[in-house]
Homo-oligomer: A and B are copies of this chain.
Amino acid sequence: MSTGFFGDIERIPYAGPDSTDPLTFRYYQPDEMVLGKRLEEHLRFAACYWHSFAWPGSDPFGGQTFERPWFGESLDDARLKADVAFEMFTALGVPYFCFHDLDMRPDGNSFAENTRNLQVMTDYLGEKMDASGVKLLWGTANLFSHRRFMSGAATNPDPDVFAYSAATVKTCMDATQKLKGENYVLWGGREGYETLLNTDLKRELDQMGRFLNMVVEYKHKIGYEGAILIEPKPQEPTKHQYDFDVATVYGFLQRFGLENEVKVNIEQGHAILAGHSFEHELALANALGIFGSIDMNRNDYQSGWDTDQFPNNVPEMALAYYQVLQGGGFASGGTNFDSKLRRQSIEADDLLIGHIGGMDCCARGLKAAAAMIEDKALSSPLEERYAGWNEETSARMLDGSMGLEGIEAHVLKNDINPQPRSGRQEKLENIVNRYV
């Protein structure tokens, strides 16, 4: 009993690199074995609810462009939306999806009504999941769209908003647990400021620290086994958001004793907005032990805001998956498309085509990364570059047995006068281009 929104939709088939049919995969074969694991298990794709089914196509200078039969605020609208969403998930063969409460339930006039709507729709989604086999990668609460959150959720100057937000997160954690979501995500879109003139930065950081601690405490209390993830973003909607980037989140987690409890969900576009490459943020999260999951949607390099586009640059994506694989691959995390169609892409099949392109690029990128790992294409030169540190004196400089004075004596005694060696950047870039 299809809704008919996508016409006579079937599961999108793999048709090989030469296929010119836009409704086929050219690279993504879920069962292909890569580094001893199925591609599907490596990539752990998720499609998101909000951009594809809730966003009307508006931007700061224009209104709705999409005309969807489920736009409205009734429970029937919400159920139709879910029906179409699961038709898309199933057609694409994505094993996971993600949602905010606001995406999937009607918005009510009180916390109690919102909670009731959430529970009704949680049950409905649960049935769809059982029927389709699609699982929940993560759930989250939208604490940024409604005007009550305009000055922050956890960091609001008004304690009532803090309370409302905390209660809402509890209900969303409950829903996520009920649906066996493998992660619970927090993105602090309003946890920041427009101007320091009206902001007590320290106080707001403390509020946010307490809030996150409550989330972790509640997780343990209810025995929720998923991971808690923070999604960093430097700015937009606010001028400055507290979860600026991976390094900032790490410092925050340490400050509030949470560095072993919370990990990060890293989005390519947010990395870019913070002045980093995506692979930097991934490498850093791995180095710090807080890597969780990714949002594999890109920003436009010439736009200064979050464009959340479907990814399409395979060489860049290969470098991202290289970091993911170097860190051991995804545990509870996965590859979420927090991607929206361009607002001019108003056809139903654009939704499919956007995801198909993204999934194919991910497959190409991951396979290229895996091949580089198998060949030790980058790791061999890296090992050689740092080989000097394997010598005994070098190790002693790091293990605490030498201090500045001891090292000075060592330099003087051996008349150390280091000669630089080529960094070989171009050679390594050429090596990568053998794989992509």
Taking a contact as CB atoms closer than 8 A, the residue among B164, B255, B404 that contacts A411 in the complex is B164
Contact A415 B112 (CB under 8 A): yes
A302 in contact with B277 given A151-B420, A170-B408, A391-B159 (CB within 8 Å): yes
Q: Bound state CA distance, A283 and B111, in angstroms?
A: 35
Taking a contact as CB atoms closer than 8 A, the residue among B189, B314, B360 that contacts A436 in the complex is B314
Taking a contact as CB atoms closer than 8 A, the residue among B62, B286, B412 that contacts A149 in the complex is B62
Q: Bound state CA distance, A158 and B306, in angstroms?
A: 28
Closest B residue to A381 by CB, please name it. Answer: B198
Surface stretch bound by B, among A39-47, A80-88, A130-138, A201-209? A201-209
Contact A424 B350 (CB under 8 A): yes
At the interface, yes or no: A303 with Cβ under 8 Å from chain B? yes
Tell me the number of copies of this protein.
4
**Interface size in chain A (residues, C-beta < 8 A):** 159
How does the 8 Å CB contact mask read for A184-211 relative to B, with 1 for contact and 0 for none? 0000011000111111111101110010
At the interface, yes or no: A354 with Cβ under 8 Å from chain B? yes
Contact A57 B147 (CB under 8 A): yes
Contact A403 B214 (CB under 8 A): yes
Other A-B pairs beyond A62-B144, A217-B403, A315-B315, 8, CB < 8 Å: A63-B147, A150-B423, A151-B421, A158-B388, A159-B393, A161-B418, A166-B404, A248-B248
Question: What are 17 residue pairs bridging A and B, where the CB atoms are less than 8 Å apart in the complex?
Answer: A57-B147, A62-B144, A111-B411, A150-B420, A159-B389, A159-B393, A163-B397, A163-B416, A198-B425, A234-B275, A310-B426, A312-B315, A312-B430, A344-B420, A345-B426, A350-B427, A361-B433
